[in-house]
Structure 1
Amino acid sequence: MIHIEVVFSPAPRQIEMSTLALPLGSCVKDALLAAHLLGQAQHLSVGIWGRKATLAHVLQDRDRVEVYRGLIVDPKEARRVRYRAHGEKTTRGVKRPNKRPLSNSSG
């Protein structure tokens, strides 16, 4: 027998975790079936310890199967929106210019 964890976050700040004991030679699909997540996971990505995996990937003892849901907002775009909302970056309440001033080099 191998012992694994299956983790799924159906919504932000919500986590469903199952600890399973499966026969040696079980794959990701078997783990999702045992955790009753196969229907949801077929439309989402899966991974093991943060690395993308297929449903046919054979599991090892103490693996952590993670089910990833799609992103609602592109992280780069969210960062741009936050930057525009806050304006220029500040350091301890003092606004800094976006560009470094040119240095005066005397010969």
Structure 2
Amino acid sequence: MIDIEVVYALAQQQTLLALKVPAGSSVAQVLRLEAVVQQWPELDLAAMPVGIFGKVVDQPAERVVQAGERIEIYRPLLADPKEIRRLRAAKAARDRAKAGG
């Protein structure tokens, strides 16, 4: 058995679950454990993006967790970062045009 952590953060609250799992467990197997499912019953853990220490895991069924690792369950983005930057740049251009013209 190895010690790992699973974490999920909302804007107001972060929940960390410390677990002992069999060595050789995949990320997907950990996310199907009863303790994890009970902790976050509202989440579709099979469909949510996950990572380990800030690095996205593209294939959770194949990625084996190591002792001491932290699986992070990521929330979906509320807005596309590229779209936010585009809107911010357009507003700045309008503001410059008003100030100069």
Q: For 1:15 and 1:48, how far apart are their aligned partners in 2?
A: 16
Contact 2:49/2:75 (8 A) holds in 1: yes
* Higher share in helix: 2
* Structure-1 separation of matches of 2:47 and 2:31: 13
User: Once the 2 structures are TM-superposed, how far is the Cα of residue 78 of structure 1 from its aligned partner?
Assistant: 2.4
Amino acid at match of 1:65: I
Within 5 Å, which residues of 2 pair with 1:64-83?
A: 64-82=70-88
Paired with 2:88 and 2:14, the residues of 1 have a C-alpha distance of 26
Structure 2 unaligned residues grouped into runs of 5+? none
Contact 2:28 / 2:46 at 8 angstroms: preserved in 1? Answer: no
Q: Deviations over 1:57-107 (max 9, x none)?
A: 11100011011121111123324445627x46xxxxxxxx9xxxxxxxxxx
Superposition TM-score, scaled by structure 1 size = 0.65
1:4 maps to what in 2?
4
> What amino acid maps onto 2:71 in structure 1?
V
CA–CA separation in structure 2 for the residues paired with 1:14 and 1:76: 27
Task: Kindly report which structure 2 residues correspond to 1:1-107, keeping only aligned pairs within 5 A, or say none.
Answer: 1-9=1-9, 11-34=10-33, 35-36=36-37, 37=40, 40-53=44-57, 54-56=59-61, 57-82=63-88, 84=91, 87=95
For structure 1, the 5+ residue unaligned runs are 89-96, 98-107
Identity %: 38
Question: Superposition RMSD on alpha carbons, in Å?
Answer: 2.7
1:3 alignment partner, SS class: strand
Equivalent residues, number: 89
